[in-house]
Amino acid sequence: MSTPSAQTDSFVRDRLPPREQWPEFRYDLPELQIPDQANVATTLLGDAIAKGWGNRLMLRAPGETYTYAEASAQVNRIAEMLIKDYKLEPGNRVLLRGGNSIGMALAWLGVVKAGLIAVATMPLLRAVELDKIIDKSRPALAICDVDLLKEMVPAAQDAKTLLPILVFGDAARPDGMEARAARRSADWAGCATAADDVALLAFTSGTTGVPKAVITTHRDVLAACNAWPRSVLKATPDDVVTGSPPLAFTFGLGGLLLFPTAAGASVYYPDVRFSPETMVRKMRDNGITICYTAPTFYRQMAPYAKALGIPSLRICVSAGEALPDATRQLWKESTGIEMLDGIGGTEVFHIYISAAGADVRPGSIGKVVPGYQAKVVDDNDNEVPRGTVGRLAMIGPTGCRYMDDARQTHYVSKGWNHPGDAFTQDEDGYFHYQARDDDMIITAGYNVGAPEVEDCLLTHPAVAECGVIGKSDEVRGMIIKAFVVLRAGHNANEAMAEALQEYVKKHIAPYKYPREVEFVTALPRTETGKLQRFKLRQEK
């Protein structure tokens, strides 16, 4: 760190992995070279004002709007209030709990501007799950939406040191965030953080055990804002952005707050209670031009988008799980828009392989984003020939640093990040997703990626959703099993199972067909819409 840290609380810095376990960071492009003193909130909001965007709308929600100037002033008030009312010091962690709202966005920016470390949590987490995050991150304060106090209060009381709670979302509350902030300065300068000071701890959506906390610096975030959004997304100040991923998820934090702010665009946060139909209506009625969500939700929105129309929409970003070609095609038929796919991850903050417009190739996620490098390797980290299935490895301006976690060496090897995905790369440099490493099914000597079978099943007119896993088998080692949610009007019976099996045999290699089909009413998914195959494996 060439500029001394402004964070006097060194709790997180003291729990960085050893330097030899870090990935290599590369800043090969001029726009990725961040000044040694930088703060995400100060930089993004300051640049917006300097570019003359002060009177443009930044944040929108039903019945509420903030211009860039208004948001900047409120962030300053919140930041000063946190330092002076709560006697917090730079480097303290602040747990954030809220759905996607203007209040949550302003609170996040205020925390970071004050030199504090944001620890945002998914809105659906229960107290027992919050306990683990609190125990690992040791926050000095929790900032919580008034509607989410039910789980927050017992978690705060269970903390090793009683955790104070600052409530937002109730402007009439005299001790709430809004009232306290109103008594502070709109011009507070904030904390002069070093670029390598920590901006956030992002907790991964792990399947078991203690959650992993990813250490993300101001430099990481600002470099990410200048990578994929600038070279692939190319948002403009005239764009209006919306979507479903939570701000507690780095896909949502980037797409629905930081990247639009960097572009001078505005974000619309719909009410937290929305269905596929109401989301389409909100997009149409609010002139949405860019949407972020997971493939499953695009599939659910497609019939409503086709019937109602969203004339303003121009870019649809899909991430969080593999994008089936059937979903891509369905959305294009419904809206005329070719979806923008991408792969990223909490460990590296956001998307690093993607393609847009004429560069899109069905069946491929895309090419490596400028500023990043990626390759497909074998178990010894040797690059494999083009077209050969292997493990993805990537390197660039962002990378994985787990806080106080032995699993760091599972993710980083020889300076490269290994996200745990199986890929191939073709002769033109396009990357083709196969499966998560643990979702590859080896059946009778054949390697089969679960997403490929799911993609095929989703093209059948009777299938609404599906999930595919490998099931142990004495003869074949593993067999392919499919869990299927049928569309209304179709019967879950043996004849339907056989019809689906024959359909797969006809459309892809016959050895890839599911030897078992189980009909279910719903599939287990994370709060961000990602299919939880590990739960299907537990149920098999």
Asked whether residue 519 is domain-assigned, the answer is: yes
Asked whether residue 461 is domain-assigned, the answer is: yes
Q: Write out the H or E segment, with its range, that includes residue 1.
A: none
Per residue of the chain (540 residues), what is the pLDDT tens digit? 568 999 999 999 999 999 999 999 999 999 999 999 999 999 999 999 999 999 999 999 999 999 999 999 999 999 999 999 999 999 999 999 999 999 999 999 999 999 999 999 988 888 888 998 999 999 999 999 999 999 999 999 877 777 999 999 999 999 999 999 999 999 999 999 999 999 999 998 544 456 899 999 999 999 999 999 999 999 999 999 999 999 999 999 999 999 999 999 999 999 877 889 999 999 999 999 999 998 888 999 999 999 999 999 999 999 777 788 888 999 999 999 999 999 999 999 999 999 988 888 888 999 999 999 999 999 899 999 999 999 999 999 999 999 999 999 999 999 999 998 889 999 999 999 887 777 778 787 677 888 889 989 999 999 999 999 999 887 777 899 999 999 999 999 999 999 999 999 998 878 899 999 999 999 998 777 778 888 898 875
Distance, in Å, from the CA atom of 203 to the CA atom of 458, rounded to the nearest integer, reads 31
Asked whether residue 504 is domain-assigned, the answer is: yes
Question: Quick one: the chain helix, strand, coil %, rounded to 5?
Answer: 35, 25, 40
Look at residue 33 and give its three-state secondary structure. coil
Going by their DSSP bridges, the two strands 290-293 and 240-243 should be labelled as parallel
Asked whether residue 480 is domain-assigned, the answer is: yes
Distance, in Å, from the CA atom of 160 to the CA atom of 245, rounded to the nearest integer, reads 31
Q: Are 144 and 111 in contact (CB under 8 A)?
A: no
Look at residue 477 and give its three-state secondary structure. strand
Asked whether residue 506 is domain-assigned, the answer is: yes
Distance, in Å, from the CA atom of 73 to the CA atom of 111, rounded to the nearest integer, reads 14
Distance, in Å, from the CA atom of 65 to the CA atom of 177, rounded to the nearest integer, reads 17
What HEC string does 307-334 produce? HHCCCCCCEEEECCCCCCHHHHHHHHHH
Give the total number of structural domains in the chain: 1
Going by their DSSP bridges, the two strands 477-486 and 463-473 should be labelled as antiparallel
Nearest CA among 230, 248, 251, 239 for reference residue 314: 239
Distance, in Å, from the CA atom of 148 to the CA atom of 135, rounded to the nearest integer, reads 19
Structural domain of 467: 444-539
Distance, in Å, from the CA atom of 111 to the CA atom of 7, rounded to the nearest integer, reads 13
AA identity, residue 197: D
Where are the alpha helices (H) located in 235-275, listed in sequence order? Answer: 250-253, 259-263
Distance, in Å, from the CA atom of 288 to the CA atom of 313, rounded to the nearest integer, reads 6
- The single residue listed with the structure tokens 């509420």 is 64
Nearest CA among 429, 431, 433 for reference residue 420: 433
Specify the pLDDT at position 159.
77
Nearest CA among 48, 94, 350, 44 for reference residue 198: 94
Residues 6+ apart with CB under 8 A from 153: 165
Neighbours of 14 (CB within 10 A): 9
Chain-centre distance for alpha carbon 208: 19
**Cα angle for residues 45, 179, 61 (degrees, 5° grid):** 55
Distance, in Å, from the CA atom of 61 to the CA atom of 54, rounded to the nearest integer, reads 18
Q: What is the CATH number of the domain that holds 513?
A: 3.30.300.30
Distance, in Å, from the CA atom of 353 to the CA atom of 424, rounded to the nearest integer, reads 13
Q: Write out the H or E segment, with its range, that includes residue 494.
A: helix 494-507
Asked whether residue 457 is domain-assigned, the answer is: yes
Neighbours of 387 (CB within 10 A): 11
- The single residue listed with the structure tokens 């937002």 is 168
Specify the pLDDT at position 157.
87
What is the distance in angstroms between the CA of the first residue and the CA of the last residue of the chain? 50
- The single residue listed with the structure tokens 């692939």 is 232
pTM: 0.86
Residues 6+ apart with CB under 8 A from 324: 295, 451, 454, 455, 458
Phi and psi, residue 531, nearest 5°? -65, 130
State the chain's maximal CA–CA distance in angstroms.
72
In angstroms, the Cα distances linking 489 to 11, 299, 461, 465 are 57, 18, 11, 15
Distance, in Å, from the CA atom of 239 to the CA atom of 227, rounded to the nearest integer, reads 18
Distance, in Å, from the CA atom of 251 to the CA atom of 246, rounded to the nearest integer, reads 8
**Residue 420 backbone zone (phi > 0: left; psi -120 to 50: alpha; other: beta):** left
Residues 6+ apart with CB under 8 A from 115: 6, 7, 39, 90, 91, 190, 191, 193, 197
Asked whether residue 489 is domain-assigned, the answer is: yes
Asked whether residue 407 is domain-assigned, the answer is: no
Distance, in Å, from the CA atom of 58 to the CA atom of 68, rounded to the nearest integer, reads 5
